[in-house]
């Protein structure tokens, strides 16, 4: 599976949009981009995933560049409850669901 | 969304004893479950993949005789830490997939194991 690079931390003001970048320059054609988050001392929570098109759900939007070498997770209106570690994971269909978590980005939403 | 539970949420045991952790999918059948371990201030590390009715497959470096995994039904997988030692103290998390979409993984709340 392709590796990902994320900034170790970022702060965001409550009510503002949080834009979380992820680089995955070695991604291959059959690999998806997944985002999970982990609130302190809890199990990870699925956020969104995509292949090449931009995706949106009730939690977030995922913007994938045309060359698929990077993506951005957007939390449109950050709340204090969005404070968590966010993981960007690239996984292919031949990985049988095995998620390899990197260090992620610690997002702190401040009032 | 789908719900996965773990029991117990916290456990303290003495060195040398064994501890069993249960992972249940409450509202769906899980053909595959995964077990992760997370040390303080570190990321999750995949330990093993558990398929219903078959032997678990372990990641490199994970001792299969120390971490016994059983997936006897479509809603239950158990992880037994045998002869636990203080270095086994960690946060153990399971995840489960409904089967139709391997990417739909739902995580349990985790079990905090402390070995004294």
Nearest CA to CA, how far is B82 from chain A (Å)? 23
Cα–Cα–Cα angle for A106, A108, A110, rounded to 5 degrees? 175
Taking only the tens place, the pLDDT of each residue in A3-42 is 899 999 999 999 999 999 999 999 998 899 999 999 998 9
**Whole-number Å distance between alpha carbons of B76 and B78:** 7
pLDDT at B52 over 90: no
Please indicate whether, in this complex, the C-beta atoms of B103 and A98 are within 8 angstroms of each other. Answer: no
**Whole-number Å distance between alpha carbons of B63 and A5:** 29
**Whole-number Å distance between alpha carbons of A46 and A48:** 6
Cα–Cα–Cα angle for A24, A30, A36, rounded to 5 degrees? 55
The answer, for A45 touching chain B at a CB cutoff of 8 Å, is yes
Taking only the tens place, the pLDDT of each residue in A39-82 is 998 999 999 999 999 999 999 999 999 999 999 999 999 999 99
pLDDT at B101 over 70: no
Nearest CA to CA, how far is A49 from chain B (Å)? 9
Q: What percent of chain B stands above pLDDT 90?
A: 76
pLDDT of residue A2: 61
Among A102-106, B30-34, B98-102, the minimum mean pLDDT is found in: B98-102
Contact residues on chain A for B6, CB-CB shorter than 8 A: 43
Tokens of B48: 């093993």
Contact residues on chain B for A101, CB-CB shorter than 8 A: 36, 43-46
Tokens of B24: 């249940």
pLDDT at B94 over 80: yes
The answer, for A99 touching chain B at a CB cutoff of 8 Å, is yes
Three-state DSSP class for residue A54: coil
pLDDT at A1 over 70: no
pLDDT at B49 over 60: yes
The set of residues, in sequence order, having a beta carbon less than 8 Å from that of B62 and lying 6+ positions away, is: B47, B48
Name the residue among B6, B46, B91 with its Cβ closest to that of A99: B46
């Amino acid at each position: 599976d392709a590796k990902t690079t994320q900034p170790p931390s970022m702060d965001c003001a409550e009510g503002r949009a949080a834009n979380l970048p992820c680089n995955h320059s070695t991604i291959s054609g059959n690999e998806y981009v997944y985002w999970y988050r982990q609130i302190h001392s809890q199990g990870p929570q699925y956020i969104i995933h995509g292949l090449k098109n931009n995706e949106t759900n009730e939690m977030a939007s995922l913007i994938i560049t045309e060359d698929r070498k990077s993506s951005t997770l957007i939390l449109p209106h950050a709340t204090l409850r969005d404070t968590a570690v966010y993981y960007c994971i690239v996984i292919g269909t031949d990985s049988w669901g095995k998620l390899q978590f990197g260090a992620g980005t610690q997002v702190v939403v401040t009032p | 969304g789908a719900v996965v539970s773990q029991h117990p949420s916290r456990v303290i045991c003495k060195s040398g004893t064994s501890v069993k952790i249960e992972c249940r999918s409450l509202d769906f059948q899980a053909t595959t479950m995964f077990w992760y371990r997370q040390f303080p201030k570190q990321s999750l590390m995949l330990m093993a993949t558990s398929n219903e009715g078959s032997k678990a497959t372990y990641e490199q470096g994970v001792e299969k005789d120390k971490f016994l995994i059983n997936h006897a039904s479509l809603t239950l997988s158990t992880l037994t830490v045998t002869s636990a030692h203080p270095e086994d103290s960690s946060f153990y998390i399971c995840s489960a997939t409904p089967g139709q979409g391997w990417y739909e993984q739902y995580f349990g709340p985790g079990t905090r194991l402390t070995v004294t």
